[in-house]
Structures are given as structure tokens and as C-alpha cells.
Copies of this chain bind each other. A is one copy, B any other.
Amino acid sequence: MTPFEKHKAFIDKAVKALHERSFFAAYPEHPAPAIYGETADADGQQTFKAALNQKFTELLQSDPNGWVGQEESPYLQEPLKIAYPSFAVSTLIDRAKSSYHQWRKVSVESRAGILVESLERIKGRFFEIAYATMHTTGQGYMMAFQASGPHAADRALEAVAAGYAELQRFPATALWDKPMGKFNIQLNKEWRAIPKGVSVVIGCSTFPTWNSVPGIYASLITGNPVIVKPHPGAILPIAIVVAEIQKVLAENNLDPNTCQLAVDTFDKMITKDLAEHPDVKLIDFTGNGVFGSYLEALPGKTVFTEKTGVNSVILDSVDDVDKVAANLAFALSLYSGQMCTAPQNFYIPAEGIKSQTGVISFDTFAQKLVDNINGLIDNPKAGPFVLGAVQNKKTCDRVKDAESLPGKVWLTSRTFENPMFKNARVSTPVIVEVDAQAKDVYAKELFGPIALLIKTKNTDQSISLAQQMAMNHGAISCGAYTTDPVVKDKIADEMSLAATPVSFNLIGGIYMNQNAAFSDFHVTGGNPSGNASFTNPEYVAKRFTWVGHREPVKA
């Protein structure tokens, strides 16, 4: 049985889910023994530990130039000492080009089968990937498991489904039969989806698999060879993914260099050399705005970016203010605010937030947010797990610096010790009140657990500022709380114009930071936070070209 035969029903289900956009998850998000096996967690942790201080020899890329690796655990603040094979840029490109002519000729069905099979193999390593993610990104265990394992695999599958559907949007052949009156002109026509060429996927330090697999799988399903350039601080999780893809390729007698890992080091980054190489046609990037905009402007490349944004929360009116404060405190604290979807700018009217039990003043709400964050941090069963650790010191500095922003500091970053990892690099949230006039303060992303409470004249000003920030500086998410349908319509409309999705009135166990595969488009592509969206039709359609040939039907 071919991989496609094995997975056909599953792929069809994914394509259906992609278009229905109701709940669909192919890979269970609970790291439960009942699902993944009694020893899966312990085995994964063991395998992860065994990888430390070793060469990573799983990749099927031959003849490395050398072995490099500079990862460091944010929990231990110690190097992982894993060495990965490194290659000259010219070697990576040559191998990609050579694999291109094999891979482009593989049918979309076979590609889909092989890619889904690789996800099945990756599923068997979710726990190992979880520990690898914890100790490179600082994510808490649960997030590390979910985001780097099942949720990433779902997003990869989504990209496969999108590509699979798009590549079959038009028939491979058709008879064109044109009546001319006394006779017909008949042409046999055929259409080929020609992959654009070498694809480079540039990873980030905080979500090494979740943010990279959509680009990897989107390029692969559409027939392009991929060079995966991870962030030098977060390699292992995606190295495992690439190794599994390579193994499935090899098992199917295909060149494993169809998907290569391209590791570099902080002192000698190869990203620009790869991106600027004339043979590189496709670039996927997650990371900072300046580098993303540089990539977007490279001529002759198709570039997909997720950059930075300034995410807003608009507070107008609430049913239960305590539930709102609790939800937002969690959203802000989750992975210490190191999510591209985390809230930053909280717009609160000077006259307070309306509720059925009366107006909640600006100060009352600010205090509730502070109290909820403190409560979360002080809860030993929640705090350490929710906060995780901070990926790199710059974020800690940014958090500390935020305390000096002009305005009342409602909460300073506290001393906090992770009971399991005494050396963990941590930063608890900072909350600062900012005047609506001080746009320069809040018109940029302050990556990390930093909340700015912006006192506005009224909700109209809140909406206008949130829209302006999104239009001019980008936004990936927006939270809004209102019980007034007219205000809700206005927020929905105005934020739509800024291409920003709005989560309304979230309380309980669902947060504005979370985007689900097969339902939520991640990043819209319509504001400066990025030009691409997981996974809309453009995200796959731009990776290939439709070319049609034709010939008269033989008489």
C-alpha cells in the first residue's frame, strides 16, 4: 500500500475540514497516556536527555562541513551541547536544485501521502519534541507539547490539505471543442502546476515547529524542495521534524535532500546568503519586522512573512468583570507574553467599563488585572507552568525597561523562582498605565509580558486607536469586550478594515492568543504584521504556476 492509499481518507477529511472551518483536530492535544501510551512521556524525556551533548546524526544529509550548535536551555541556562551537521550555502542550494527535478515530478497524491506519513512518524515523537521545545524556547510543558506537537502537526496537515485541494482545482486535461459553424476546432489541453523552485523556511526562537511547518509542508506539497533554516537558539524540535521527513522520503526512494536542515550559529548566520541566492524562489519567515520587511523587498522572490504586531484589547462593557480580568491575566501571562498573539495594548475608557452592576472604574479594572496576575503567579500549580521561562535575556531586559515607561506602574516584574528549575530565566508581567496621547510609547511591539493600560476618552477612541495601531504597525490578534451589539458591530467592522481578527468576550478556558488550525486563519496578511496567512488559498497558490499546453486533436 502506498502512503497515499494509506492516508487517502484522512486527507479527504482534512480537505473537507479546511473548507468547513468547524472544529477539526487530527492529532490529539492531550499528552495523555491513554492516547499516546503509558511510557510515551518518560520515553520522550529519556530520548531528549540522551540527545544532549551528542551529535545529531539522524539527518540523511551527507558530508557536512562541520558540526555546530549553540542552543541553551532557558530553564537551566546551560548549553544543550547538541552538534548539528553544517553545510555551505552552495551545497544546500545545489542539493535542493538537484532534488527539485525529482520531487516536482512526483504526483500530488504521492506527495500528500508521503507528507502525511511523515506527520504520523512525527506524532510518535511528540513528547521528545515537547522536551526539546521546553529547553530551547522556555515554553511550559503543556504548551511545548501542544504547540510543537499536535497543533503544529495540524497546521502542517492543513497546509498539505490546502495544497492538495488547490493543485486539483483545475483539470489536468480537457478537450476544448469550439463550434465554428460548419466545423469545430478541437484542442487537447493540459495544465501543469509548476513548482516555483527552491524554498527557504526561516524559523523563530519561540515556536520552532508551529511557525515553520506550515511553510515547509506548503512548499513540499506544491513540489518545491525546502531548506529549513532554524533559529540558532531553537533547532532540536525542527531537526527531529526534518529528520522524519527525510526518512519517509528515503523509504519512498526519493532524495532526502528534498527537505534539508541548514543550521547556523549566532556569530555566522547564513540567512541572508540563503535568502539572496538567485536560485531561491520562495521564502517563509517568522521573526522581527525589520528583517521581515527586508525579505519582502527582495526582488524575484515570493515571500511569506509573519512579523511583529501590536495587539489590542478593547474594553467597553462586560457581563462579569472578574472573569474578564482572569481571562486577560492568563492571556498576558501565558508563556510570559512571548506569543505573537499575546495582548499588549489595553484600551480602557477614562470613565470606566460598563457592566450590569455598575461602572467599573479604570483603576478598579487595573487593580483586578494586577490581582489576577498575582494570583496566577502565586498559585504553585499554575504560575510556573503558565509562565514557563524566557527564551532570551533581551526579553527580560525589555520587561525591566518597561517599568521606566512614562506612566503609573501598576505591576512591576517580581522575583519568581520556578520550583523545578531553579536557574530558569523568568520575568513576570509588568503593567503600566499610558496616556492615549503617548502614541510613541505604545505604537511598537514590546515582546514579552508587558501590558499597557491606555486611558481613552471613550470606546470610540479605543476602537480608533486600536485600528490605527493595527493599520500602521500591524496586529495579529485583538480582544474586545462589549455587551452592546452596536459597539460590537463597529469593532468588528473597523478592525476588519485593519485586517485584524477579533475575539469577542472571551472568558474561561479560551484565550485570544490561541488560533486553531482548520478554523482560524493565523495572521491575515492584510496589515504590517505579516503578508501571509496560515492557511489561506494564497499561501499555497503562490508556490506554483499554472502552465497550460494545447494541441489540435488528431483528425
Contacts and interface: CB of A to CB of B under 8 A. Distances in A.
Interface string A369-411: 0000000000000000000000000000000000000000000
B525 A545 contact: yes
A541 B545 contact: no
Interface in A513-530: 516, 519-521, 524-526
A542 interface: yes
Contact of A549 (B189, B504, B536): B504
Interface stretch (A74-82, A169-177, A282-290, A360-368): A169-177
Contacts of A350: none
A536 B541 contact: yes
A510 B549 contact: no
Contact of A177 (B22, B196, B508, B538): B22
A526 to B, nearest CB: 3
A176 B175 CA distance: 42
Given A194-B496, A547-B501, A170 B552 contact: no
Q: How large is the interface on A (under 10, 10 to 19, 20 to 34, 35 or more residues)?
A: 35 or more
A531 to B, nearest CB: 10
B504 A551 contact: yes
Most B Cβ at <10 Å: residue of A500, A516, A550: A550
A177 B537 contact: no
Contacts of A166: 537
B550 A504 contact: yes
Contacts of A170: 19, 21
Interface in A163-221: 166, 169-171, 174-181, 185, 187, 189, 191-192, 194, 196
B176 A22 contact: yes
A547 B524 contact: yes
A215 to B, nearest CB: 17
A185 B514 CA distance: 13
A280 to B, nearest CB: 15
Contacts of A318: none
A291 interface: no
A22 B500 contact: no
A23 B176 contact: yes
A508 B553 CA distance: 12
Contact of A541 (B21, B171, B541): B541
Contacts of A510: 185, 187, 552
A413 interface: no
Contact of A21 (B189, B192, B502): B189
Contacts of A506: 551-552
Nearest to A18: B170
A404 B521 CA distance: 58
A328 interface: no
A546 to B, nearest CB: 5
A299 interface: yes
A171 B549 contact: no
Most B Cβ at <10 Å: residue of A525, A526, A542: A526
Contact of A499 (B191, B545, B550): B545
Nearest to A542: B538
A163 to B, nearest CB: 13
A484 interface: no
Contacts of A180: 509
A258 to B, nearest CB: 17
A506 B20 CA distance: 44
A224 B516 CA distance: 30
Nearest to A554: B505
Contacts of A179: 23
A297 interface: yes
A550 B501 contact: yes
Contacts of A550: 501-504, 520
Contacts of A194: 496-497, 499, 526
B521 A21 contact: no
A124 to B, nearest CB: 23
Contacts of A51: none
Contacts of A509: 180, 185
A87 to B, nearest CB: 25
Contacts of A178: 23, 25, 516
B189 A519 contact: yes
A548 interface: yes
Contact of A537 (B169, B520, B533): B169
Interface in A330-360: none
A547 B519 contact: no
Given A192-B496, A537-B166, A547 B526 contact: yes
A492 interface: yes
Interface in A458-496: 492, 495-496
Instruction: Name the 4 nearest CB pairs between A and B, nearest first.
Output: A526-B545, A504-B551, A502-B549, A499-B545
Given A508-B552, A520-B550, 5 more contacts: A21-B189, A180-B509, A194-B499, A501-B550, A502-B549
23 contacts: A19-B169, A19-B170, A20-B174, A21-B176, A22-B174, A25-B178, A30-B181, A166-B537, A185-B509, A185-B510, A194-B526, A495-B549, A496-B549, A501-B547, A501-B548, A502-B549, A504-B551, A505-B552, A507-B552, A526-B545, A536-B541, A537-B537, A537-B541
